[in-house]
Amino acid sequence: MISRLKRPLILVLLAILSVAGVRTITINNSQDIAFRPLDLDPAHPGPRRIGELVFENAWQLDSPNENFGGISALTRLPDGRFIGVSDAGTLIGFGLSNDERMDRPFIAPLPGSTGPDLDYKDRDTEGITYDAQSGQFWVSYEVNHAIRRFSRSFSRVSGVARPAEMQDWPANRGAEALIRLRDGRFIVIAESVDDGIHPALLFSGDPVEKGSVVSRFTYRPPAGYRVTDGVQLADGRLAMLHRSISLPNGFAAKIGLLPLASLAPDKTVESRIIATLASPLLVDNLEGIATEEKDGNSFIWLISDNNFFVLQRTVLMKFRLAERDKKKKPEAEPAPGFESL
């Protein structure tokens, strides 16, 4: 959509993006979320291979609820439902039935995001991750450099941490990507970029619990891009989502794979890029990534943040990892220095 805009409108978009997320939570109303199918390329509809990904489906999501939108991170539950968090402190949940119809949608304020003494910094959620065994969720906050843990079904806040290693990150450029690894470790990557790299942290366990050991490393995104989210695949690798915006091309996204074994204290790591989405293909401000394993295939789901801006959309996209990529050998042993984490 952005590629069809005139340059003055793109400049307006950039101005809006610079202050995106400054909203006030209002009383929740409609729980309806409608979606309509989209083509990756209207000129060539249907499945299509992009790098090492095969496009499966895409949808535009809409709701009359004024708090719908701004989705900055996404996670997928074992029952197939998705949970997203917005940069206005809203939980957005939905599923897709077997015939790809919307299932059990809901839109609600994130617990702890409303109240007379709270403001934008208490709502700017940028990352979400989930533990299927305990049913707990962790959410990262970009402005106040915090991580909150929520009990099953988000019934209550069960813990809050403000790690010292995150407190020197710039305001409004804090925790962007939050990843829980299956072995219980956590990765947090900042939105800020210094000399082309993101500061990042690896926690030996739950960052909310005392005693979790923290190691610093850095992440190098593709030139001109910034990391927005990440998720661990079934084979152990990390799938990383990167986004860029430029004139006159608008938004673009790159998906990369990062071997977990490449991480080491004080090391700079980067992903191997497997796909690029750019105009004229369907692309928007892609900020969330989730994964699904089904019938021996790995699927990657992407979702966009519309910044509550009329010229942007909430787009959900589904891709399948290509067959040759799926048959990777098991990962190597952890790099020296990370064995105990």
More confident residue, 116 or 192: 192
Residue 333: inside a domain: no
CATH of the domain at 208: 2.115.10
Residue 340: inside a domain: no
In angstroms, rounded to a whole number, what is the distance separating the alpha carbons of residues 66 and 18? 20
pLDDT digits (tens, 9 = 90+) for 230-280: 999 999 999 999 999 998 889 999 999 999 999 999 999 999 999 999 999
Helices and strands in the chain, H and E counts: 2, 23
Residue 338: inside a domain: no
What pLDDT sits at residue 248?
84
- The CB-based long-range contact list for 148-155 (8 Å cut-off, 24+ gap) reads 148/112, 148/208, 149/206, 149/208, 150/111, 154/91, 154/110, 154/111, 155/111
Full domain range(s) for residue 81: 2-23+31-326
Residue 194: inside a domain: yes
Residue 157: inside a domain: yes
Number of domain units in the chain: 1
What pLDDT sits at residue 311?
87
Residue 336: inside a domain: no
Residue 12: inside a domain: yes
Residue 332: inside a domain: no
pLDDT digits (tens, 9 = 90+) for 10-69: 534 554 454 444 555 555 578 999 989 999 998 888 779 999 999 999 999 999 998 999
Q: Which tokens hold the place of 144?
A: 């106040």
